[in-house]
Structure 1
Amino acid sequence: MEDRRSAMEQIAVDPDVYSADGPYYPDDWQSETTSIGSSIYRGLMENGRRYQNLRHQDYLIPSDDQMFESYEAGHLVALVLDSDRENPLFRAPVRDARQILDIGTGKGIWAIDVADMFPNATVRGVDLFPPPVSWMPPNCVLEVDDILQEWTWREPFDLIHMRIMIGSFDPAEWDRVYKQCYDNLQPGGWIEQLEASPRVECDDGSLPEDNILHTWGPNIFACGEAAGRECDTLDTMHEAIQKAGFVDIQDITYKWPIGPWARDKRFKEAGTVNFHHWMSGMEGWCMWLLTKFGSPEPWTKDEVLVYVAKLRKELKNPRFHIYQRARRVWARKPFPDEVERSAKTQEGSAGKSDISGGKH
């Protein structure tokens, strides 16, 4: 069964956000997010940012303190917008999980939160770079590994989770990742993925058509395509998960406000946090892409920094009612009898086609 849902209704604007003495403008949401700590792990330094060096190919997102901070902000945005749910961490109907895997765990925040919520489960977070954490629950294990290699975990998983992975793989690698997930889930186990679009959107025309913010998404998409790492995962993951053999595929689309311009308290809080998500993340999101694949020729580091500074200035304008789309997809690995029934149905359909064709 396929259930496509949406949380994409237009967000009501809070007129009080424009007031200089209002509760959200300007100081408490426009302050720059600062680094969370010193560099304690080795990695490849390029353009002043640290990247993983486990896989023998470039990785477009840095693995440093500033990027880990951005991951944390993105995690909080997702939590705020699902805070009306009993479980805001994932939507897959997993009740009594024993083994959970978080791919691309980043700072490990999601894995740690899930381990706290499900103390009887073993939660593994895996990434290409060690997360800067000093404590974690005893049932949480954070590992450094490349999931494109053969998986060595012995226990099948009840839930495999991914989030904000755009640009991580080329299309063939994505197919391999989804197949690995399918093969390493319990029958009846679930996969869930949350992605956010790099495109800045606006519903009411408050963002002028010639504003530089409109260039951000197209630049990221074009560079990702040139790099062979398409950044359209938000739009392709539903079909890719279905192609891997999963069933009961469901999804929901969100609007993540950027800035506290929304009237609704939950959207306002999410927008405030998402503003910091963008302010701390933009340089890392685009530095590798633009210095390698920028148009009409690769950009210099200084050109990227100037571009990001201009974007940040526009993001601070509270009169721009802007947001990005996000999408969550969850799906189930079928039980063996379901696979068998599906195979028989397909064989029967093929046989009828052959018979019908033979009559002409």
Structure 2
Amino acid sequence: MSNSAENSVRGRTLATTTTMYRYENGRTYHAYRDGEYWQPNDEKQNNHEAIVHHLCIMTLKDQLYLAPIEDPKSILDLGTGTGIWATDIADKFPSADVIGTDLSPVQPGMQPDNCRFEIDDMCSEWTYPLSTFDFIHIRGLFGSITDWPALYKQCLSHLQPGGWIEQVEWSIHNRSADGTLSPDATLARWSRNALECAHRTGKTFEIAENMAGLIREAGFEGVVERRFKWPIGPWSSDLTLKEIGRWNLLNWEEGMEGWVMAPYTRVLGWTPAQVADWLKEIRRALRDRKRHVYHEVRLVYARKPLES
């Protein structure tokens, strides 16, 4: 795509961007900045994102965020996906101006008047005025960003002094607290495949483990990290974790094809048939009640210094 074509796309609203798709192996992907993001943008993916949003709300005990923000006037949601978080935060703060950006257009829906969506690449130079936002939100961008320090620097410079950043990411490392997941188990090999994709693309899948340090290094202060567990399946004796486990199993079953189809075929060189066989193996592993597997979810929030 030429620079002039990219410039014509940047900043458009969803009303004029409805056909920007790449069709591949039965799924659709964004076409703007083709290949920069690895998950699909079709209806199946949209349904999966609703499951993820519900999991996050359960994890945060019915909260959309944990940062101590008060009466924000301008909110930016990076990688907004379906726009579900942006829509909810706009409802919560009707006097705030909420912008959700993504490489794919957000389908028109019931979003409030104070919420709008833009096609944009967060990794490019931002065109917003400096010190614009009171709150910047990021969720689920693991494996998508080449230069996280540069992105955090842009967040810092575009936040108002005293403004907040919050990021939620889930670890790709599957673990078991009781040793029931051996190194050669299917769900352990799943994690290693993700690391290999990251090695080849230069886009880390381990940002959950590193974001607190990187955000601090970018110049933010008061960095707070919270860690949560998402069991895979309802094996936990804790009633809350058992319910999260049920939803996380659904999360895996509905989302895993979208997680692997593009990375495995584009990066690892697998055929679609090999991916299909692998997904069958994963489904069997997910239903194995003898293995008590979970993965970690981390949330980090931090503030831009009042003087910077």
- TM-score, normalising length from structure 2? 0.89
Q: How many Å separate the matches in 2 of 1:225 and 1:112? A: 35
Task: Determine helix, strand or coil for the equivalent of 1:51.
Answer: strand
Deviations 1:307-355 (A, max 9, x none): 011101211233332111111111110012xx4xxxxxxxxxxxxxxxx
1:206 maps onto 2:177 in alignment = no
Q: Aligned-pair distance for 1:285?
A: 1.1
Q: Distance in 1 between matches of 2:217 and 2:182?
A: 39
The answer to whether structure 1 residue 143 and structure 2 residue 82 are counterparts is: no
Shift of 1:175: 2.1
Partner of 2:217: 243
Look up the match of 1:62.
Answer: 40
**In structure 2, what is the equivalent of residue 285 of structure 1?**
259
Alignment-derived partner of residue 159 in structure 1:
135
Unaligned ranges ≥5, structure 2: 1-17
In structure 1, the gaps of 5 or more residues are 1-39, 340-360
Corresponding residue for 2:249? 275
Cα drift, residue 209 of structure 1: 4.8
Q: Does 1:95 align with 2:70?
A: yes
RMSD, matched Cα:
1.7
- Provide the residue aligned with 2:8 in structure 1: none
Q: Distance in 1 between matches of 2:208 and 2:284?
A: 27
Q: How many residues align?
A: 290
Residue 120 of structure 1: how far off its partner (Å): 1.6
**In 2: Cα distance, 1:271 partner to 1:56 partner:** 34
TM-score (norm 1): 0.76
Q: Which residue of 2 aligns with 1:317?
A: 288
Contact 2:233-2:249 at 8 Å conserved across structures: yes
**CA contact under 8 A between 2:72 and 2:134: conserved in structure 1?**
yes
Match among 63, 73, 83 for residue 51 of structure 2 = 73
Q: 1:116, 1:137 within 8 Å by CA — same for their partners in 2?
A: yes
| DSSP-derived class of the 2:173 partner | coil
- Structure 2 distance, partners of 1:178, 1:280, is 31
Matched residue type, 1:51: Y
- The alpha-carbon deviation at position 261 of structure 1 amounts to 1.7
Mapped to 2, the partners of 1:242 and 1:334 lie a distance apart of 11
Which segments of structure 1 move beyond 6 Å, counting only runs of 4 or more?
Answer: none
Q: Is the 8 A contact 2:36 2:144 kept in 1?
A: no
Of the three residues 300, 303, 307, the one matched with 2:274 is 303
User: Judging changes above 3 Å, is the alpha-carbon distance between structure 1 residues 81 and 59 closer, same or farther for their aligned structure 2 residues?
Assistant: closer
From the superposition, tell whether residues 211 and 133 of structure 1 become closer, same or farther in structure 2 (CA, over 3 Å): farther
**Residues of 2 paired with 1:321 and 1:280: CA distance?**
20
C-alpha deviation, 1:301, in angstroms? 1.0
Shift of 1:42: 3.8
Please identify, of 254-263 and 311-320, the stretch whose mean Cα deviation from structure 2 is larger: 311-320
Match of 2:304 in 1: 333
Aligned to 1:188: 162
SS at match of 1:306: helix
AA partner of residue 77 (structure 1): L
Query: Separation in 2 of the partners of 1:113 and 1:323?
Result: 28
> Following the alignment from structure 1 to structure 2, what is the Cα–Cα distance between the partners of residues 244 and 284?
32
| Cα distance in 1, alignment partners of residues 127 and 272 from structure 2 | 39
Instruction: Give distance in 2, aligned partners of 1:203 and 1:41.
Output: 46
Q: Distance in 2 between matches of 1:133 and 1:201?
A: 39
Where relative contact order (Cα < 8 A, 6+ residues apart) is larger, the structure is: 1
Which is greater in Rg? Answer: 1
Distance of 1:207 and 1:149 partners within structure 2: 40
